[in-house]
Structure 1
Amino acid sequence: MNRSTKKFLMLVLSVVVVVSTFTGCGSKKSSESNVNDSTKPYTGKFVNGKLTKPFHLKIETQTGFNEAIIADKKGFFKQVGIIPEYTGVLSPNVSLAQSVTKGDNDLFDSGHVVTIASARDAGAKLKIVLTSMVDSPDFDKTHMTWFVRSNSNIKSAKDLVGKTIAMSGRGSCAELWNAEFLRQNGVDVKKTKIVVMKDQQQEQALKQGNIDVAILHSPYNMKIKNDGGARILTTSYKIGQKAGDGQASGLAVRAFSENFIKKYPDVVKAYIVADLKAQQYIDKNYQESLKIAADYLKMNIKDMSGNIYPDQKWIKPEQINFWIKTAEKNKLTNFEVPGKVKASDLYTNSLNPYYTGELK
C-alpha cells in the first residue's frame, strides 16, 4: 500500500470517528432532554390519561409493600409518562415530610391522615391527593399487628401498664391506634413506655426482651409469625372496628407538597391514574403482586404480606374525618383541641381526573 493510499484511508477513518462522536453526543443530548431540568419549566401536559412529555418523579426507595412497586414493575408509571427515580432510604433523623418539603423527594407515599396533619402543623404544607390501602381482618392483608412474646404474661391491654411498646414513629398510625386500643380498655397510655423503633428491628428487640410489644406493619408481621416465638395480642382492624370502621383504620394516603402541586398539576393527575391502576391490579392479582414485591425487597415470598385497596377513585371526607375524630378522642399531638384540624385543609380532589370528570 503506497503512502498516498494510507493517507486517504486515515482521512476517511478520521471523518468516521468524528461523525460517530457527534452522533453519539446527539443521542446523549436527546436522552437527557427527558430529564427534569430545574432551570427550564416543564411543559408536559396531561392529555387522554397520560403526560405528553416524560417526568422523572423522585420517590424514596421502598422498604415495605407499596403499590409504587407494582406501578413501576407492571409499567403503570411508564404508561402515563412517569419515570420513577428512587432516592434511597431516608436517614433516621429525616422524615419523609421534611424530605418532600425540601424537594429531595416529590412523593409522600408512606403515611396516614395524622402524619399529614402533624407535618402541616410543623410548617410542611403537604396535601393529600389520593387514598391508598385500607385494613383487613385477613392476617396477610392487615395494616398492623401487635405482637408479644409467646411466653409473655400479657394477655390483654390491661396488662400493658408499665410495659415497653415499640412503634415506628410518633405522630404515626401506630401511635394513634395503640392509644385507641389502650383507651378502649381503660388504660392510660402515659402508664406505658413508648419507644420509637423501625419495624425491621422490632422482632429481635422483642425476642431479646428489650421491648414487651412490637407493633408491626406488613411484611414484618408475616416474618415474625413464621419465625415463631411470638403471638398476636390484637390488630389494627379489630381496634378500628371497635372505634367504628375496621377497614378505615388502615387508610393510607398519598400526598405532594403544595408547591409541587402548583408547579406540576398535570404530573399529579398522571400519578393518580398510575397509582389507581396499581391498586386495582393488586386487588385482582394479589399473590402475583406479593411475588413482585418480594423480589423487589429481596425477601422470601413466604415472609411476604401486603395490603388491599378500596374500590374508590377519589378521597372520601368521612374517611379523613374518622382519623381526625379518633385522634381527637386520644388527644394526640396537634389534635388536643377538637375542630382545630379540618379535613378540608388536608386533602384535595381537584386534580383527580376521575373526580372532575376528565376521565371516566
Structure 2
Amino acid sequence: MKLSRSLIAGAALLMAATSFTASAEDNVTLRYMPSHGGISAHELADALGYFKGTGITIKNVGYASGGPESLFALASGNIEIGSAATPAVINAIASGNKFVAAYPTNGIDDETKSIFYVREDSPIKTVKDLAGKSIAINTLGAHLDYTLREALHQVNLPERAARPVVVPGPQLEQTLRSGQVDVAAFGYWQTTFEGAARSKGGLRPVFNDTEVLGPIAGGFTVLSADFVKQHPQAARDFVIQSARALDFSRENPEKTREILARQLKARGENPELAQYFTGYGVRPGGRAEDHDIQFWIDILERGGVINKGQLKTSDILLKV
C-alpha cells in the first residue's frame, strides 16, 4: 500500500518551520529502541532539553538488534519511533506499511562511514577476494547487507558471492579476532565499536561504504503515517528538535561525546566508547535529498526486490 500524496504533502506543510520554537499540542509519549554503543538524535535532543515545552516524552523500551527489528516493532504498534537503513525502509513501505521517512538518522561521508575489516594477516585484500568468505554484519536486509551486495556487484561478482553472518555490534571485534568470520563490518552507527577495535591494532580495512555508495544518507528515523496524521504538532516538534540536535553534534563534538558517555553509563554500557564517536554524517539541518532514496529504489528495482515504478521518492521521503 502506498502512502497518499495528500498525506505526505500535508505532513510536510505541518512540519515546515522557520524557527525552533516549540508549542505543545498535547502530551505524547514516543517509545523507541536504542542501538548499542550509540545515541540517536532524539536521545541527544532529549538530553539537551530540546523537548521541554513540546509535550513530548521519549521512552526507551529496550535495544534493537537492527533496523528490521525496529520497523517490525513500529508496524506492530510497540514503538512510535523506528529507525532503519534506507533499503529496509523502502522494503517495508513497498510491503504495505504506512511509514514516513522523517529525517536521516545518519549519513556516510569521509568522516563517518561503515568499514569492512579483516585481520592483519588475512589474504583478503580487495572486494574481489570476498567471494566465498563469511562477513559479520549486525542484521540481514539492512545497510551493511545491501552495501556488501552492491560492492560485489560493482566488481562483477554475484551479489550473494559472500556469506553474511549476523553478529551483534558488541561482539563484532571478538568474532573477527577469534577467526569465527573472515570479515567484520562495523556500521556507520557503530563508530564507537570500530574505534575501540582499531585502537588495539591487528586489523586492516578492506573497503568502506562511502567508496561503494558515495556520500549519502545511511538510514532514516521512521514514523507511522497514522501518527503524523493524529499528532501533527508533536510530529513536527519531534523532527525539528531532533534535527536541531544533529546540528548541535556537528558544532559541539566534544560536548556530544560527553553526553554519549553519560548515556552509555546510564544504560550499563562502556562509557569509554564515547571517545570514538565521529558524528552523524548528515547535512546541516538534517536535510534529506531525493538521491538518498532514489539510489536505493534503483538498486532494489534492478534486483527485482520491488517492481519498476512501484515507488517514488515522494512516497517515502518527508520533506521538511
Q: TM tier, shorter chain?
A: 0.7 to 0.9
How many correspondences in the alignment?
A: 293
The residue number in structure 1 matching 2:91 is 118
5 Å-filtered alignment, 1:82-101, equals 82-90=56-64, 95-101=69-75
* Aligned residues of 1:98 and 1:124 also touching (Cα < 8 A): no
Aligned residues: CA RMSD: 2.5
User: What amino acid does structure 2 have at the position aligned with 1:270?
Assistant: D
2:158 paired with 1:206? no
Task: Using CA pairs under 8 Å that are at least 6 residues apart, name the structure with larger relative contact order, 1 or 2.
Answer: 2
CA distance in 1, matches of 2:107, 2:66: 26
Displacement, 1:187? 2.0
Cα distance change of structure 1 residues 232 and 314 upon mapping to structure 2, 3 Å threshold: closer
2:80 paired with 1:67? no
User: What amino acid does structure 2 have at the position aligned with 1:252?
Assistant: G
CA distance in 2, matches of 1:92, 1:247: 22
Displacement, 1:177? 1.1
Equivalent residue of 2:108, what SS? coil
**Structure 2 alignment gaps of length 5 or more:** 1-13, 266-270
The residue number in structure 2 matching 1:78 is 52
Displacement, 1:92? 8.6
2:215 paired with 1:247? yes
The residue number in structure 2 matching 1:7 is none
CA distance in 1, matches of 2:285, 2:299: 22
Equivalent residue of 2:235, what SS? helix
Report the TM-score, using the length of structure 2 for normalisation.
Answer: 0.83
CA distance in 2, matches of 1:267, 1:144: 32
Cα distance change of structure 1 residues 274 and 178 upon mapping to structure 2, 3 Å threshold: same
Cα distance change of structure 1 residues 117 and 222 upon mapping to structure 2, 3 Å threshold: same
CA distance in 2, matches of 1:227, 1:87: 33
The residue number in structure 2 matching 1:58 is 31
Equivalent residue of 1:111, what SS? strand
Displacement, 1:212? 0.7
CA distance in 1, matches of 2:277, 2:105: 19
5 Å-filtered alignment, 1:173-188, equals 173-188=143-158
CA distance in 2, matches of 1:229, 1:105: 40
Equivalent residue of 2:106, what SS? coil
| Aligned mate of 1:334, from 302, 305, 311 | 305
The residue number in structure 2 matching 1:166 is 136
CA distance in 2, matches of 1:155, 1:92: 28
* Aligned residues of 2:246 and 2:286 also touching (Cα < 8 A): no
Query: Per-residue CA shift, 1:9-28, capped at 9, x if unaligned?
Result: xxxxxxxxxxxxxxxxxxxx
2:137 paired with 1:144? no
User: What amino acid does structure 1 have at the position aligned with 2:89?
Assistant: I
Displacement, 1:255? 1.4
User: What amino acid does structure 2 have at the position aligned with 1:84?
Assistant: I
Cα distance change of structure 1 residues 124 and 83 upon mapping to structure 2, 3 Å threshold: same
Displacement, 1:282? 0.6
CA distance in 2, matches of 1:313, 1:202: 29
Cα distance change of structure 1 residues 202 and 62 upon mapping to structure 2, 3 Å threshold: closer
The residue number in structure 2 matching 1:306 is 279
* Aligned residues of 2:35 and 2:64 also touching (Cα < 8 A): no
CA distance in 1, matches of 2:72, 2:40: 20
Moved more, 176-185 or 188-197: 188-197
Displacement, 1:93? 12
Query: Per-residue CA shift, 1:103-154, capped at 9, x if unaligned?
Result: 211011x31221111222334321112223221212xxx2311111111010
* Aligned residues of 1:56 and 1:84 also touching (Cα < 8 A): yes
| Structure number with bigger Rg | 1
Query: Per-residue CA shift, 1:177-235, capped at 9, x if unaligned?
Result: 11111111222232221212222222111111111111112222112111222111111
Identity %: 23
User: What amino acid does structure 2 have at the position aligned with 1:82?
Assistant: I
* Aligned residues of 1:77 and 1:84 also touching (Cα < 8 A): no
Report the TM-score, using the length of structure 1 for normalisation.
Answer: 0.74
